Amino acid sequence: MAGEDEMVIDGYQGTDTTTLPDQEFNSNYLKLYYGKLFPHSDLFKWMSYGNDGKHPGCDLSYLSRREFSYTLDNDIYVRFQSFHNASELENSIKDKCPFKIDIGPVYSVDPSKRHAYAQSGDNVFTPVERELIFDIDISDYDDVRYCCSGADVCLNCWPLMTIAIKVIHTALRDDFGFKHILWVFSGRRGVHCWVCDGKARKLTNEQRSSIADYFRVYKGNENSYKKVSLTGHVLHPFLAGAYSDVLKEFFETKLLTSQNLLSSEERFEKILEMIPDQSATAELRGKWQENRRSSKDDINVVRWEQLKQLLQSGKYKSQRLHRCVEEIVFSFTYPRLDMEVSKHMNHLLKAPFCVHPKTGRVCVPIDPNHCEEFDPTIVPTLSQLLEELNREGYTADVDGEWNKTSLGSAIRLFRSLFLQPLLEACKKEIETSYNAKLKQSKDLHSW
């Protein structure tokens, strides 16, 4: 969503921050990208949700009530754009060459005509439908990773995003029954999730907040020693499953050693501060300070096993230690969501297949069933794609030039894993609703 420091004048919005495109990113490259490679028709089909005018029961106003926003060169931000058909959407993108495309909600009326409705005095301009969305950034994990910080990411810390996908996707599918879930690489430092089932798109803000709160475990801030508090004698089934199926193994076999979480006094003190018993903390500290090296085993693994053995041995009877080992694991591995993005209908989120202006990388979909195979460092860049296209030569390919480039696999994944099953479900839902209305009408006339 637009930041609070941004100002809108006649539909144009400027920001105090400046994004300087690097050599990977410029308007000429974008013009070629939008002209030859960007999957315009796929974006239109997705945003139409079967309302394409090709069969009875379609809502012909559906797409025109969806908000699109553009970030143009020189940080010009254009909101409340709307389009009536696929060609309007494609022509607009090719003409404006936006540095970023954001997608907003479906409103009760055409957002580009909102001023006319406001002048009428009727409060009819309101969001009525929006995908349930999640935004997860690696920078929010800076207190538990030592390889990178801020927007930087490498193969040692990226698995934190993989774990987030696994945990959230499983719950959305198994606990909430959602089927049409799209995961997208943000292009730089995180992932976006779009839940597109009809029942998800129609959720109220209150219902969205409830779902977001269902995932809330991480409640600390940068000044908190203990960021997670797991209460009760047993974990909630969702949390218990996440811990046993994903978090515990990842922490103990990957994160512990890749980040050297217990390798130095400075680092192990951060974990000792999470233990709410001074006697246990003192005993571990003394043991670790005496034995600074292990000739055979990794010191991180050795110290973690010592911590678990001490806290779970029953030597210390404090009730506060009951969940301490689990709380440490959750603190370091559990998904950290931008909660406000998920709670409100009117948040904007970057469209898939945009190009990130800082990295030049395309925002490609991620297969949640094989997310551990995703490598953000080899995602195609804008210049790479255009080099591939130039090497192959331009042709009049009816399905798009992207087939000749490394973007092809991403678009095929988007279609087969997400778009095709979604459209089949949407058309079935529209037909069912239309037939039900016909039957109701016939029943009324039969009286």
DSSP 8-state secondary structure symbol assigned to residue 57: T
d(CA 317, CA 81): 62
137, 197, 327, 401: which is the annotated catalytic residue? 137
**Which one, of 402, 337, 332, lies nearest residue 37 by Cα?**
402
Q: Which contacts qualify for 148-156: CB closer than 8 Å, 24 or more apart?
A: 150/189, 151/188, 151/189, 151/358, 152/189, 153/188, 153/189, 153/376, 154/377, 155/375, 155/377, 156/258, 156/259
Alpha carbons 164 and 161: distance in angstroms, whole number: 5
Catalytic member of 52, 67, 197, 327: 67
Q: Which long-range contacts (CB under 8 A, 24 or more apart) does 251-256 make?
A: 251/329, 251/332, 251/333, 252/301, 252/304, 254/159, 255/144, 255/159, 255/160, 255/332, 255/333, 256/300, 256/301, 256/304
Q: How far apart are CA 401 and CA 34, in angstroms?
A: 11
- Is 135 catalytic? The answer is yes
**Contacting residues for 359 by C-beta, under 8 A, at least 6 apart:** 24, 187, 188, 381
Catalytic residue among 90, 110, 135, 388: 135
User: Which amino acid, residue 31?
Assistant: K
Q: Active-site positions?
A: 67, 135, 137
